[in-house]
Amino acid sequence: MTSTRTAEELRHDLTGGLAEAIAAKGYAATTIADIVMHARVSKRTFYEHFADKEACLMALYEQGCEQLLEVVRGAAGAGGRPWREMVNDGVTAYLTAMEGMPATTRTLLVEIQAAGPKAFRLHQRMQRRFADTLVEVVEGARAADPSIPPLAPLLAIALVGGVHEMMMQVCDPYTGAGQSFTSLTPAVDELVYAILTNPWKSQME
């Protein structure tokens, strides 16, 4: 079953297997047996690529975040548009991407924060990566259109945290039932506009 797959494909299948298992029963209850069942490989193959379940989780989280970062760069980074349109395109693309990978979404939003100190630190680093990417996207757009308001790094972190909390509400089985990530688009747009046009933010730059 595994001989025709490259090492990269096997790692991808193993992280995908973990995502499927987490979606079905949560990270704490997931076993190596669950992961290899979904990935259609042996336990020996798993340990050839990952030391343990936590290492596989961290790889899954990084893969998901890198995919989303590319989505944001691609959607919001293209110039030649009014800045509000650029913001809306970036927000829409990000939330649509989250909607499109349900097996990974719970890992990105919920499980990573309760999976131990290493996973928590990785989560913090990737949140900063998202904030840095937003600053870079805005600065790139400002090079072509100086009328676009700048985004201070500290406010970018606040923005990333605020959007994360909105998405957590959708994930909550009690408050988020029936909601989709894309339904958050107007609220996220409003949050971004409010931060970019905040008359006091220049004090933080």
Domain of residue 188: give its range. Answer: 76-204
pLDDT at residue 182 tops 50: yes
Rounded mean pLDDT, 109-117: 80
Instruction: List the CATH number of the domain containing 96.
Output: 1.10.357
Contact 161, 125 (CB under 8 A): no
Answer yes or no: is 42 within a domain.
Answer: no
Tell me how crowded residue 168 is: count the other CB atoms within 10 A of its CB: 14
2 confidence band (pLDDT: 50, 70, 90): very low
Cα distance between residue 74 and residue 53, in whole Å? 32
pLDDT tens-digit readout, 121-136: 998 999 999 999 999 8
**CA–CA gap between residue 8 and residue 59 (Å, rounded):** 12
Domain-embedded: residue 144: yes
pLDDT score, position 204: 47
pLDDT of 144 strictly over 90 = no
User: Has residue 63 been placed in a domain?
Assistant: no
pLDDT at 18: 95
Q: Is residue 155 situated within a structural domain? A: yes
Q: Does residue 122 fall inside a structural domain?
A: yes
Count structural domains, the chain.
1
Distance between CA atoms of 119 and 22, rounded to whole angstroms?
15
pTM: 0.84
Within a domain: 115:
yes
Q: Would you say residue 154 lies in a domain? A: yes
List % helix, strand, coil for the chain (3-state, nearest 5): 75, 0, 25
d(CA 23, CA 136) in angstroms, rounded, equals 33
- What is the predicted pLDDT for the residue at 1? 47
In a domain, residue 198? The reply is yes
